[in-house]
Structure 1
Amino acid sequence: MTAKPTGHYVLKADGLYLQFDRLFHAPIEDVWYSLTNPNAMKGWIGTYTGSPATGGVRFQMSEEGAEWMNVSILECDAPHRFTADSGSGPSGVRVFCHLVEGGGMTTLTLGQRVKDGADAASIGPGWDFYLDRLIASRSGSALPAWETYFPSFSPHYRGLTVPDAAKG
Structure 2
Amino acid sequence: MLPQPTGRLVRKEDGVYVVLDRIFKAPIEEVWSYFTRSPRLAQWIGEYTGTGSTGAVKFRMNAEGDGAEWQNVAVMLCESPHRLHVDVGKAPDSLVMFVHLTEASGHTTVTFGQRLRSVAGSADYCVGWDYYLDRLVAAHDGKAMPNWDDYYPSMRDHYQTLCRDLDHDLRLEHATAQRDGTTG
TM-score by structure 1 length? 0.93
Q: Which runs of 5+ in 2 are unaligned?
A: 174-184
Matches within 5 A, 1:149-168: 149-160=151-162, 161-162=165-166
What is the CA–CA distance in structure 2 between the aligned matches of 1:50 and 1:39, rounded to whole Å? 13
Report SS of the residue matched to 1:118: coil
**Structure 2 residue 64 is matched with structure 1 residue 64:** yes
Equivalent runs, 1:86-165 vs 2, <5 Å:
86-160=88-162, 161-162=165-166
How much does 1:23 deviate?
A: 0.6
| Residues 29 and 2 of structure 1, relative CA distance in 2, 3 Å threshold | farther
- Contact 1:17/1:112 (8 A) holds in 2: yes
CA contact (8 A) 1:137 1:143 kept: yes
For structure 1, which runs of at least 5 residues remain unmatched after alignment? none
Identity of aligned residues (%): 46
State yes or no: 1:13 paired with 2:13. yes
SS at match of 1:147: helix
Q: Distance in 1 between matches of 2:86 and 2:124?
A: 20
1:38 paired residue number = 38
The higher relative CO (CA closer than 8 Å, separation ≥ 6) is in 1
Letter in 1 for 2:40: A
Query: Could you state the TM-score of these two structures normalised by the residue count of structure 2?
Result: 0.85
Tell me the distance in 1 between the aligned counterparts of 2:53 and 2:158: 38
Secondary structure of 1:60's counterpart equals strand
Inter-partner Cα distance in structure 1 for 2:44 and 2:88: 19
Instruction: Report how many residues are paired.
Output: 166
1:33 match: secondary structure:
helix
CA contact (8 A) 1:117 1:158 kept: no
User: SS at the partner of 1:16?
Assistant: strand
Question: What's the Cα RMSD here?
Answer: 1.6
Once the two structures are TM-superposed, the CA of residue 87 in structure 1 deviates from its matched residue by: 2.0
Partners of 1:12 and 1:144 in 2: CA distance: 31
State how far apart, in whole Å, the 1-side matches of 2:126 and 2:13 are. 21
